[in-house]
Amino acid sequence: MTRRHHASDPPARIGVVVDADTRRQELERRAAEWASCERCALAGSRTQVVVGSGEPDADLMFVGEAPGFHEDKQGIPFVGQAGRLLETLLGEIGLSREQVYIANVLKCRPPGNRDPLPAEIESCQGYLYDQIQLIRPRVICTLGNFATKLLSGSPLGITRVRGQAQQHTFGAVTVQLFPIYHPAAALYTPAMLEMLRSDFAALPALLAGGGAVAEAVPQPGPMSAAAAPAAEPEFDDAQLTFQF
């Protein structure tokens, strides 16, 4: 099933921007424009807007939660320990940070690295949808709860949908949405690191168009003992939101 996102779709004129060079220039223009954003109260506490980084014509895009302390200072997403782990995992499948695009749901750091507020997400989500339209990735990896729930349009947490590719359409762009754990969670949980490695190992097939795609987003409900995966430990969704 393809889920279409209508209410917060970026302007239709983005859909007519076809060639990579034009889309790259438009992304740069918009990034410069967004640097002075004052749509929410985070404008008063941030050091700078962290738009994103990487290849503007990437096939693979990662979307995290929000900038952390170091990202706020440097203006680049995922520059801490979680970022280094992300680079290691990319290297294990033959990719580099420079070949993908990395962004966040929020472009400004919440004070004290607290969770994003609904009003902040609503104010900022249009920027992310613009980025998706201009970058046109084949696969978007959502890292953790906030990115997964926003882009899937589902209230299900990451522990319920992790590793299940879903087809979604944002404006004129159809992608495979692939929810995975945030790398920061794996810094402290060896079992989660192995699951993250397993999910990264599935990315080459998804990028090539050969990965399995879920027909629909799973709905909440009790899972029978027979259906529950025995090898995976349980994690609390509330503990799986990080900014590093």
Domain-embedded: residue 127: yes
Q: Of the candidates 28, 141, 149, 170, which has an alpha carbon nearest to the alpha carbon of residue 78?
A: 141
In this predicted model, what pLDDT tens digit does every residue of 86-101 receive, in sequence order?
999 999 999 999 999 9
In this predicted model, what pLDDT tens digit does every residue of 54-93 receive, in sequence order?
999 999 999 999 999 999 999 999 999 999 999 999 999 9
pLDDT band at 18 (very low <50, low <70, confident <90, very high): confident
Tell me, yes or no, if the pTM score tops 0.85. no
The neighbour count for residue 234, using CB atoms within 10 Å, is 6
The mean per-residue pLDDT over the stretch 131-154 comes to 97
Residue 51 three-state SS:
coil
Domain-embedded: residue 187: yes
pLDDT at 244 over 70: no
Domain interval for residue 169? 3-9+16-207
Residue located via tokens 């985070």: 42
Residue 157 gets the label, from left (phi > 0), alpha (psi -120 to 50) or beta, of beta
Residue 189 three-state SS:
coil
Whole-number mean pLDDT of the chain? 85
First CA to last CA across the chain, in angstroms?
34
> DSSP labels for 98-121?
GGSEEEES-SSPPGGGPPPPHHHH
Higher pLDDT, 242 or 7: 242
Residue located via tokens 């970058």: 135
Domain-embedded: residue 91: yes
Domain-embedded: residue 239: no
Q: Of the candidates 112, 110, 104, which has an alpha carbon nearest to the alpha carbon of residue 131?
A: 104
Domain-embedded: residue 226: no
* Beta strand segments in 125-242, E: 139-143, 166-170, 173-180
**Domain harbouring 76, CATH code:** 3.40.470.10
How many domains does the chain contain in total?
A: 1
The separation between CA 41 and the C-alpha centre of its own chain, rounded to angstroms, equals 23
Domain-embedded: residue 101: yes
Domain-embedded: residue 120: yes
Q: Exposed/middle/buried for 75, CB within 10 Å: 0-12, 13-18, 19+?
A: middle
Domain-embedded: residue 229: no
pLDDT at 222 over 90: no
pLDDT at 179 over 80: yes
* Beta strand segments in 25-74, E: 53-54, 60-64
